[in-house]
Amino acid sequence: MFETLTPQAPDKILQLIGLFNADPRPGKVDLGVGVYKNAEGVTPVMRAVRAAEKLIWDTETTKTYTQMAGEPAFHAAMAELVLGKDYPKDRLAALQTVGGTGAVRMAFEIGRMANPGTTVWVCDPTWPNHLTILDFMKLPRKGYRYFDAATRSVAFDAMIEDLQAVQKGDLVLLHGCCHNPTGANLTLEQWAAVADLLAQKGAVPMIDLAYQGFGDGLEEDAAGTRLIASRLPEVLIASSCSKNFGIYRERTGCLLVLGDTATRAVTQNTLGFLNRQTYSFAPDHGARVVTTVLTDPALRKEWEEELEEVRTGMLSLRGQLADELRRLTNSDRFDFLARHRGMFSRLGATPAQVETMRADSAVYMVGDSRMNIAGLNTNSVPVLARAIVKAGV
């Protein structure tokens, strides 16, 4: 039967990794892979995470299964992190998932179960996996404009115009902060306008919160999500622990579902059912590490301090790159790099210019010119700036 299988489209990031690894040139710069790296090019184990793992090692007495939907302590810790200390416990159902991607997939699944006729509205551009997952699930999707390529900012008027067409029960996918791939975020006033529109239309917001703490701070990065949660009767929130805890390989995520008190029990039951049908029990180690860090005052303080070092480090690199490009071009057209937040920005280069930077300067980024700011360090920023100017961006 396997002769009926056809090759799947290659992953562009994986292809880029292969090209980068095969490049023998010294000083090559990898801005493609979407993981945080420090100045030495390493994704480190955070100090608080290492201490939590040691604590778990010393005290854990069993490796038996936990609960189908995951540990309630993890749900509570994540709900407080995302929604704040006063989150509505009587409205919340939660699911421990295999990474943030698992949370996204489960959000789509429960959305489809609740409303088989739902259409998912996705911003253009968005994280490519959003689109491939929806297409694999054969869920209808529509796009709404989000990014103004000329100004490198949110095309908010166009976004609102497109979202006027959403129907009751549709899912509207929003990036909670640090938009991937552009780095351009909604303001709090714009979040409020989106909330008003979705409430008027009866649509359900689905927020992908993958980078909390990487933009303007833990609380600030959750502000839009919290505003939506406070104003809409039903909300789906997919949260990832890969980036802000640096535990990529532990595959730790959480899906938070807000509804009304009358539907909470059946929603929680359905979430457990989805885990059972997909992979049964979610991995526990990463979730236990996160719970330990968030509930131990000393570990949480250390984690927040280290996360702030990561965040301000990326902001410093953004500022350095914008300043260097201003110096080289005698122009402010790259100042948007300092305004953007998170790991990514879309530079605005053509695919041909991206290829020129790779061929001539050993600078690697995705063909649409999305670049990972965390792939830079103070020494490689001038290399990138010269490559951008040389390629005529």
For the chain, list the domains and their CATH numbers: 10-44+312-390 (3.90.1150.10), 65-295 (3.40.640.10)
Give SS3 for 342. Answer: coil
pLDDT in tens, the chain (393 residues): 999 999 988 888 888 989 999 999 999 999 998 899 888 889 999 999 999 999 999 999 999 999 999 999 999 999 999 999 999 999 999 999 999 999 999 999 999 999 999 999 999 999 999 999 999 999 999 999 999 999 999 999 999 999 999 999 999 999 999 999 999 999 999 999 999 999 999 999 999 999 999 999 999 999 999 999 999 999 999 999 999 999 999 999 999 999 999 999 999 999 999 999 999 999 999 999 999 999 999 999 999 999 999 999 999 999 999 999 999 999 999 999 999 999 999 999 999 999 999 999 999 999 999 999 999 999 999 999 999 999 999
Determine the longest span between alpha carbons in the chain, in angstroms. Answer: 63
Q: What is the pLDDT of residues 271-327, one digit of tens each?
A: 999 999 999 999 999 999 999 999 999 999 999 999 999 999 999 999 999 999 999
DSSP state of 374: G
CA angle 213, 131, 171 (to 5 degrees): 75
C-alpha R_g of the chain: 21
Q: What is the DSSP string of 61-105?
A: -------TT--HHHHHHHHHHHH-TT--GGGEEEEEEEHHHHHHH
Task: Mark 181-209 as b/e (b = at least 16 C-beta within 10 Å).
Answer: bbbbbbeeeebeebbebbeebebbbbbbb
Q: For residues 291 and 295, give the distance between their C-alpha atoms in angstroms, rounded to a whole number.
A: 6
**Token pair 């166009």 is at which residue?**
158
Give SS3 for 279. Answer: coil
Q: Which residues pair with 372 in a beta bridge?
A: 344
Read off the tokens for 356. Answer: 């020129």
Confidence (pLDDT) at 49: 98
Read off the tokens for 324. Answer: 């260097």
Q: For residues 145 and 77, give the distance between their C-alpha atoms in angstroms, rounded to a whole number.
A: 34
Closest CA to 255 of 207, 321, 319, 190: 207
Confidence (pLDDT) at 14: 83
User: Which element (helix H / strand E) includes 189?
Assistant: helix 188-201
Q: Which residues are catalytic?
A: 127, 208, 210, 243
> Are 80 and 290 spatial neighbours (Cβ–Cβ below 8 Å)?
no
CA-to-CA separations, 185 to 121, 179, 193, in angstroms, rounded = 17, 6, 14
CA 379: distance to chain centroid?
Answer: 27
Q: For residues 13 and 7, give the distance between their C-alpha atoms in angstroms, rounded to a whole number.
A: 17
> Are 42 and 245 spatial neighbours (Cβ–Cβ below 8 Å)?
no
**Token pair 């990561």 is at which residue?**
310
DSSP state of 343: S
DSSP state of 250: G
> Are 110 and 324 spatial neighbours (Cβ–Cβ below 8 Å)?
no
DSSP state of 6: -
Phi, psi angle pair for 30, to nearest 5°: -100, 110
Closest CA to 347 of 323, 380, 315, 322: 322
Give SS3 for 171. Answer: strand
CA angle 363, 379, 218 (to 5 degrees): 90
Confidence (pLDDT) at 224: 98
- End-to-end Cα, the chain, rounded Å: 49
Closest CA to 175 of 268, 100, 250, 247: 100
